[in-house]
Structure 1
Amino acid sequence: MAPAGGPRADRGILERLEGGEVVIGDGSFLITLEKRGYVKAGLWTPEAVVEHPDAVRQLHMEFLRAGSNVMQTFTFSASEDNMEGKYFEHIEEAVWAVEVLKETGKPVAATMCIGPEGDVRGVTPGACAVKLVEAGASIVGVNCRFGPRVSLKTVRLMKEGLGAAGLKAHFMVQSLGFHTPDCGKGGFVDLPEYPFGLEPRVATRWDIQKYAREAYNLGVRYIGGCCGFEPYHIRAIAEELAPERGFLPPASEKHGSWGSGLDMHTKPWIRARTQREYWESLLPASGRPFCPSLSKPDA
């Protein structure tokens, strides 16, 4: 598919979503910059913004080139009370934030850091979505703490809750770039591998293409990522949804998607891997001997 220059930049997010357009978010900053040696591990402070602005700018450019439409500011843990209010585990706090933001007259997107079990006090995802929309949010969804499959399950519950209440909203999902089928209510922070042993859980680009398609089929039109989501994951979203968007990102213009660039490889058995069916059916091995397939989350 030839690039078509992308969507017009003079339309607001609600205009795009109401027209059925796919909006692609960005990905990981804290964990990605920590891996690159810029962020102090432990408190996860965004000191890199002032100490290494070029590194932050470069990561923004990578997400942009990979296909992102939206660049979020790197401000997590930047407030005086450190991590308070940078994401929402309590529906009450999220509702207060929506009410304050509505005073600006701008569209409000509210995502919660929850899984299928709901918020910290057990308020279901469906009930959370209802409260957010009633408070004035035009876009609702989830971010962080859980992987692609679990995050989409939560959004589905939000959608069902709104439908039962006779309410409508646009949906947004920004999952982890890690698989978390064994997580409890707290998500990946309760895993013994968090935060420095998560690499065996990293989603492949093919996992993320499936995530993008499942999200789209669910009715989600703002699709992005959170911790562990690298630029190549964002590119996977852009490639999977290129037919709907009408263009490929610059990072995919030459070779398309689903391994089509392998058709020039010198090994015939690798050239045979240019088909989508090969990668969709692949069950990748971790290559780690003596390791369990799942973990027991900490209390």
Structure 2
Amino acid sequence: MENKRRKGILERLNAGEVIVGDGGYVMQLERRGYVKAGHWTPEAAIEHPEAVRQLHREFLRAGANVIQTFTFYCSEDKLAISGNVTNITGAQINEAACDLAREVANEGDALVAGCVSKTPCYVKSRSETEVKAIFKKQMDDFLKKDIDFFIVEFVDHVEEALWAVEVLKSSGKAVGATLCISPHGDMDGVPPAECAIRLVRAGADIVGVNCHLDPLTCVRTVKMMKAGLDNAGLKAHLMIQPLGFHTPECNFGGYTSLPEYPFALETRALTRWDVHKYAREAYNAGICYIGGCCGFEPYHIRAIAEELSAERGSLPAASEKHGLWGAALDMHTKPWVRARARREYWENLLPASGRPKCPSMATPADNYEK
């Protein structure tokens, strides 16, 4: 695979291909005992490479076309305030994460995205020089390795995302920029449409949203971004990688304001059928890069690939065992379970929580940053 020229991300998108992104890393690895909750820094790429490699591999098998480097929050300032007592450097993590992602991506026809995220430095100083220096250092680490394009992710101030895009575009590689914002806009009140316009004018080739809010809310936000670009006469590909949980109570500040964050979110998890609906809604909205963030496990990514299998022209290897829409249940010994081997059953199911007197909603904390 190394000797075969890989079609780039823009080549694929320009040809009308549907790109399936991978899922969340920090939350899945925390649940498996490899990442510290709250801080979410990626030293596991050095300390437990086998865990990161396995998660990459499961996302690839589920149908992902892109493997993101496990480099979330990998800036020296974030590592320092997160209790980095092992003295692992950002450069070491970035380079190891690139190697892991490339190793697994080469097992299929997947691309590697070098990822940067927001920095504590931005909120502390708002210094363009300091923040850009951090992004430049990360970019230089990635360019020592074989990555295909860049993604700016999990940024809630569009100004910081613009600075990241400006730095990464100097590499000559394609850049995607995703904000963790709601339909209300970024943390400074800049509306989604204006955010998209600024990102594209800064050089972003792909724009969209990621994390913080549930899929259908994120679809709404990207639609607003698309409308802004259309009205401004600007062109860019659209991307979405939402949260893997239902968050109806917190559609401004995001899931970190929920009382269940981060250790009791399981009852809010999306079913694979929720993801089928999300994938179709996103595709119908004109979004062609569709993946997931925190809470998205491999079976969720498989659901995206299955829902869009006709558009993609194939099913992932991970679909071989169970078939589409639970078809494998047709072989079950119980007749009432066999009756569930059909799309109509799962599309119309209203799942129960199984928890007596479980509230349908929670009261989010109101002290998140605005």
Per the normalisation by structure 2, the TM-score is 0.77
1:75 maps to: 71
Higher relative contact order (CA 8 A, sep 6+): 1
For residues 132-158 of structure 1, what are the alpha-carbon distances to aligned partners after superposition, in whole Å with 9 as ceiling and x for unaligned?
111111100001101111111111111
Whether 1:294 and 2:290 are equivalent positions in the alignment is no
Alignment of 1:167-246 (within 5 A): 167-246=234-313
Whether 1:51 and 2:118 are equivalent positions in the alignment is no
Separation in 1, partners of 2:329, 2:163: 51
Separation in 1, partners of 2:221, 2:328: 35
**TM-superposed deviation, 1:47:** 2.0
- Aligned CA RMSD, in angstroms, stands at 1.4
SS of aligned partner of 2:340: helix
Whether 1:29 and 2:25 are equivalent positions in the alignment is yes
**TM-superposed deviation, 1:9:** 6.6
1:160 maps to: 227
What stretches of structure 2 of length at least 5 have no aligned partner?
Answer: 79-117, 121-152
Q: Given residue 267 of structure 1, which amino acid in structure 2 is its aligned partner?
A: K
Q: Given residue 96 of structure 1, which amino acid in structure 2 is its aligned partner?
A: W
CA contact (8 A) 1:27 1:226 kept: yes
1:84 maps to: 119
Residues 208 and 9 (structure 1), Cα distance of their counterparts in 2 relative to 1, 3 Å cut: farther
**TM-superposed deviation, 1:60:** 0.4
**TM-superposed deviation, 1:187:** 0.4
What stretches of structure 1 of length at least 5 have no aligned partner?
Answer: 1-7
Separation in 1, partners of 2:41, 2:165: 25
Paired residues in the alignment total: 292
CA contact (8 A) 2:217 2:251 kept: no
Segments of 4+ in structure 1 off by > 4 A? none
Separation in 2, partners of 1:230, 1:170: 25
Separation in 1, partners of 2:38, 2:169: 34
Separation in 1, partners of 2:365, 2:22: 30
2:133 maps to: none
CA contact (8 A) 2:62 2:317 kept: yes
Q: Given residue 119 of structure 2, which amino acid in structure 1 is its aligned partner?
A: E
Separation in 2, partners of 1:103, 1:42: 32
Sequence identity of aligned pairs in percent? 67
- 1:16 aligned to which of 9, 12, 19: 12
Residues 71 and 278 (structure 1), Cα distance of their counterparts in 2 relative to 1, 3 Å cut: same
Separation in 1, partners of 2:349, 2:231: 38
Separation in 2, partners of 1:274, 1:9: 41
Alignment of 1:63-142 (within 5 A): 63-82=59-78, 84=119, 87-142=154-209
Q: After alignment, is 75-84 or 189-198 more displaced?
A: 75-84
CA contact (8 A) 1:258 1:279 kept: yes
Per the normalisation by structure 1, the TM-score is 0.95
Separation in 2, partners of 1:120, 1:99: 20
**TM-superposed deviation, 1:254:** 4.2
